[in-house]
């Protein structure tokens, strides 16, 4: 991209990455999402350092409404502080979401890259595997995996990652099929570059823009997955999470709205923030939009 301030001024060039960042920061929705996401992450990471407490402690009378005691957000059916649960529960929820997204991205990019680059029987086998996982009910498969093993945070993250990698694989394959026919890839072949080098150093970096966007959206999907599994009682009982807070108090929602509402708001805000950031990255990395 170039700009000319006057006929006598030299032409200034800027890199695509700089253009993408400039466009991202010019997107007000994306900035709001970024600020909101950073705030939620900071609350979950720094809150426990500033407020030493046990989210499982019964500190007051059960189902105390907000404003009726020193506990700002009230207490749940066991008398546990909801605010402390939200602060400490964010760590488990975000850790599971990030780990599950990493597993999903790793599997998806690996399978998609190999299928798109090699084609032939390799693509046929890998596409068949992808379609097999795609037609399986994701939530049901995750529930089966967690039931077979212990419902720990690691198992939950693994289960979510294993059932949610197929969109990433299909996107990666499409990008590899498009990029591998371009001139710079043919130039790399002409100098006898190895297939591994071409995949990792030539094609993959040029396919990262849409993959980064998909990664951001995968984090939001993983948060909802973790909340759904915890709501169904398949979360780690030794770790407080937002989904666990909702699931454990769902029977009392007609008598007390706050134990379910406040964790639900946190999940909503986190997924909204991730979605806004993902949309901002999508606009920023879209060369057609940058050219306007």
Q: What is the pLDDT of residues 35-74, one digit of tens each?
A: 999 999 999 999 888 888 899 999 999 999 998 888 899 9
> 179 in a domain, yes or no?
yes
> 89 in a domain, yes or no?
yes
> 159 in a domain, yes or no?
yes
> 10 in a domain, yes or no?
no
**SS3 of residue 80 by DSSP:** strand
- The answer to whether 123 and 115 have CB atoms below 8 angstroms apart is yes
Best-predicted range by mean pLDDT among 5-9, 192-196, 268-272? Answer: 268-272
**Continuous segment of H or E residues that includes residue 268:** helix 258-285
Cα(142)–Cα(161) distance, integer angstroms: 9
Of 197, 207, 201, 211, which Cα lies nearest the Cα of 176? 207
> 78 in a domain, yes or no?
yes
**291 burial level (CB within 10 Å; 0-12, 13-18, 19+):** exposed
Give exposure, 73-108, as e/b (b: 16+ Cβ within 10 Å): bbbbeeebbbbbbbbbbbbbbbbbbbbbbbbbbebb
> 1 in a domain, yes or no?
no
**SS3 of residue 166 by DSSP:** helix
Please say if the pLDDT value at position 99 is more than 90. Answer: yes
CATH number of the domain encompassing residue 150:
1.10.3720.10
> 112 in a domain, yes or no?
yes
- The whole-number average pLDDT for the span 103-111 is 94
- The answer to whether 139 and 78 have CB atoms below 8 angstroms apart is no
Which residues make Cβ contacts (< 8 Å) with residue 217, sequence separation at least 6?
274, 275, 278
Q: Model confidence over 229-279: pLDDT tens digits?
A: 888 888 888 889 998 899 888 888 888 999 999 999 999 999 999 989 988
Of 57, 88, 90, which Cα lies nearest the Cα of 75? 57
Q: Model confidence over 113-131: pLDDT tens digits?
A: 999 999 889 999 999 999 9
> 131 in a domain, yes or no?
yes
For position 23, what pLDDT does the model report?
Answer: 84
Q: What total number of domains does the chain contain?
A: 1
Domain with 88, as residue range(s), is 28-290
More confident residue, 213 or 127: 127
């Amino acid at each position: 991209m170039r700009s000319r301030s006057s006929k006598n001024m030299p032409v200034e060039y800027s890199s695509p990455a700089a253009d993408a960042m400039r466009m991202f920061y010019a997107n007000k929705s994306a900035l709001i999402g970024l600020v909101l996401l950073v705030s939620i992450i900071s609350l979950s990471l720094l809150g426990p350092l500033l407020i030493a407490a046990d989210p499982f402690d019964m500190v007051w009378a059960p189902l105390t409404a907000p404003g009726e005691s020193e506990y700002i957000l009230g207490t749940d059916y066991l008398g546990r502080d909801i605010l402390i649960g939200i602060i400490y529960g964010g760590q488990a929820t975000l850790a599971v979401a990030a780990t599950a997204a990493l597993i999903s991205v790793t599997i998806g990019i690996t399978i998609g890259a190999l299928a798109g680059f090699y084609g032939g029987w390799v693509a046929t086998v890998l596409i068949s595997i992808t379609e097999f996982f795609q037609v399986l009910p994701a939530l049901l498969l995750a529930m089966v995996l967690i039931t077979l093993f212990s419902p720990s945070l690691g198992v939950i993250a693994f289960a979510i990652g294993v059932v949610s990698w197929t969109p990433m694989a299909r996107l990666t394959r499409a990008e590899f099929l498009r990029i591998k026919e371009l001139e710079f890839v043919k130039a790399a072949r002409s100098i006898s570059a190895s297939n591994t080098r071409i995949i990792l150093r030539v094609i993959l970096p040029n396919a990262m823009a849409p993959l980064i966007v998909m990664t951001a959206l995968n984090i939001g999907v993983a948060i909802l997955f973790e909340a759904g599994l915890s709501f169904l009682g398949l979360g780690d009982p030794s770790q407080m999470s937002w989904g666990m807070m909702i699931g454990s108090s769902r029977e009392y929602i007609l008598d007390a709205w706050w134990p379910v509402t406040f964790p639900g708001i946190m999940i909503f805000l986190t997924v909204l923030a991730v979605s806004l950031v993902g949309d901002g990255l999508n606009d920023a990395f879209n060369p057609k939009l940058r050219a306007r």
